């Protein structure tokens, strides 16, 4: 069962244009259930992008709205969920972000803006366990990730799974949420493996 998560960062670092489009499609393999059709599967996800890609997205179509340091895409992803782009100053540095907001909730973009600023204003760079799992999912190619199917018990169906390679068993599919600390470290880029844990908000 899919539980809609809170506002959260799903990719560590600044996404390239190729990575940005891959992140737009990070749920392309998910089942066409109510969570995907309603947009709940996407709501709250955000990541950092380049200034050039922020401006590129602004120029594609006239925005649905433009409010100071944010604008929303006119085309909706699903139901009332759409992309919102932010140009923020954090610690005296200009940075750019993309997030999925449910505009059925008028405060959704402002809440996401506040969450991004709070997350990126931390004095020490760190990643909590959920951020590590989200980054692994985002950075894993579609041939190496998927959703639990009939090979798994019914109560685990449609949960995210990834390939792991335990030495004694070759390769197996495992629930993303069940990865051990060692498996998480093996799948993270080297520069993120030793980042300290943070307490989830």
Position 136 in a domain: no
pLDDT per residue as tens digits for the range 27-64: 999 999 998 999 999 999 999 999 999 999 999 989 99
Structural tokens at position 201? 């908000």
| Phi–psi pair at 43, nearest 5 degrees | -55, 130
- The residue from 120, 152, 175 where one domain ends is 120
d(CA 185, CA 154): 29
Owning domain of residue 159: 142-193
Residues 180 and 115 in one domain: no
pLDDT average, residue stretch 74-92: 95
Max CA pair span of the chain: 56
Position 86 in a domain: yes
pLDDT average, residue stretch 139-158: 93
pLDDT average, residue stretch 105-117: 96
Residues 21 and 90 in one domain: yes
Structural tokens at position 145? 């990730």
pTM: 0.91
Residues 106 and 174 in one domain: no
Supply the pLDDT for residue 122: 84
Question: Per the structure, how many domains does the chain have?
Answer: 2
Residues 173 and 85 in one domain: no
pLDDT above 90 coverage of the chain, percent? 80
- The residue from 120, 150, 176 where one domain ends is 120
* 3-state SS assignment for residue 104: coil
User: Is residue 151 exposed (0-12), middle (13-18) or buried (19+ Cβ within 10 Å)?
Assistant: exposed
Supply the pLDDT for residue 170: 81
Quick one: CA dihedral 108, 100, 50, 200, positive or negative?
Answer: positive
Residues 14 and 110 in one domain: yes
Residues 47 and 109 in one domain: yes
Residues 97 and 181 in one domain: no
Residues 17 and 111 in one domain: yes
pLDDT average, residue stretch 171-184: 94
């Amino acid at each position: 069962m899919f539980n809609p998560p809170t506002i959260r960062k799903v990719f560590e670092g600044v996404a390239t244009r190729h990575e940005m489009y891959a992140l737009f499609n990070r749920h392309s393999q998910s089942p066409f259930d109510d969570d995907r059709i309603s947009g709940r599967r996407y709501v709250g996800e955000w990541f950092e992008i380049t200034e050039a890609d922020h401006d590129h997205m602004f120029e594609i179509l006239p925005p649905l709205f433009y409010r100071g340091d944010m604008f929303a895409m006119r085309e909706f992803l699903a139901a009332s969920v759409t992309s919102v782009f932010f140009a923020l100053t954090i610690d005296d540095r200009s940075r750019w972000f993309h997030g999925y907001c449910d505009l059925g909730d008028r405060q959704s973009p402002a809440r996401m803006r506040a969450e991004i600023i709070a997350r990126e204003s931390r004095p020490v760079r760190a990643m909590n366990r959920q951020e590590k799992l989200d980054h692994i999912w985002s950075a894993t190619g579609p041939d190496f990730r998927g959703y639990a199917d009939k090979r798994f018990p019914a109560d685990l169906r449609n949960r995210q799974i990834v390939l792991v390679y335990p030495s004694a068993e070759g390769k197996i599919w495992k629930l993303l949420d069940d990865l051990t600390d060692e498996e998480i470290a093996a799948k993270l880029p080297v520069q993120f493996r030793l980042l300290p844990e943070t307490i989830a908000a």
